[in-house]
Amino acid sequence: MALLEICKYPDPVLQKKAKPLKETDPSLEKLIEDMIETMYHAPGIGLAATQVGKPLRVIVFDLNPREEGRNPSCLINPEIIEAEGEQTLEEGCLSVPEYFSEVKRKAKVKVRGLNIQGKAVEICGEGVLATVLQHEIDHLDGILFIDRISALKRALYKKRVQKKLKNQSEAT
């Protein structure tokens, strides 16, 4: 397994819509293993293939990323088939470092996709799991959680990133 580089905002790959996969193969299994290792190392509880520069419809997640009790999951070609209710939770993102904001999302979701063996599966999630599934599927559609916050908060974050990038370029 290998650690993958996580793309950071404003990398344009984060705005690309990922392509569905037709079948699983050993290279996809390796990517999924590497994504899981990268997610744990970051540390995070979810990661989409687009975040590591691969515009493929693949997500990994684990709500218990500590050494003991790890139970990573992956979904290939995930799609939300049912959603209900509303909840607001604070979110962060490995591609949007050092920034957290409350985001309103559906409270319960049912997601259909394929597991690593290529078998159809459905996952029902509520609470944090519902948020993680929606957040990661958003990545596959080129949407970041900052696209779901107020324009003012988003503008302030983008200004902070631009200033940081400018300072970094001036230092080199």
User: Which pair of structure tokens corresponds to residue 163?
Assistant: 């200033």
Q: Are 114 and 33 a contacting pair, CB within 8 Å?
A: no
pLDDT for position 67: 75
136 is catalytic: yes
* C-alpha distance from residue 48 to each of 7, 57, 145 (Å): 11, 8, 13
Average pLDDT on 108-120 reads 96
Question: What pLDDT does residue 1 have?
Answer: 75
Answer yes or no: is pLDDT of 95 > 90: yes
Is 68 a residue whose pLDDT tops 90? no
Fold held by 12-171: Peptide Deformylase (3.90.45)
Q: Which of 68, 91, 98, 136 is catalytic?
A: 136
pLDDT for 103 beyond 90: yes
Which sequence spans correspond to the domains of the chain? 12-171
Look at residue 109 and tell me whether its pLDDT is greater than 80: yes
- Pairwise CA distance, residues 104 & 37, whole Å: 29
> 135: buried, middle or exposed (CB in 10 Å: 19+, 13-18, 0-12)?
buried
Q: Where are the beta strands (DSSP E) in 3-119?
A: 46-48, 58-61, 73-84, 87-93, 96-105, 108-114
Nearest by Cα to 44 from 23, 30, 61, 32:
61
pLDDT, averaged across the chain: 95
Whether the pLDDT of residue 151 is over 80: the answer is yes
Rg (CA), the chain: 16
Q: pLDDT tens digits for 17-62?
A: 999 999 888 999 999 999 999 999 999 999 999 999 999 999 999 9
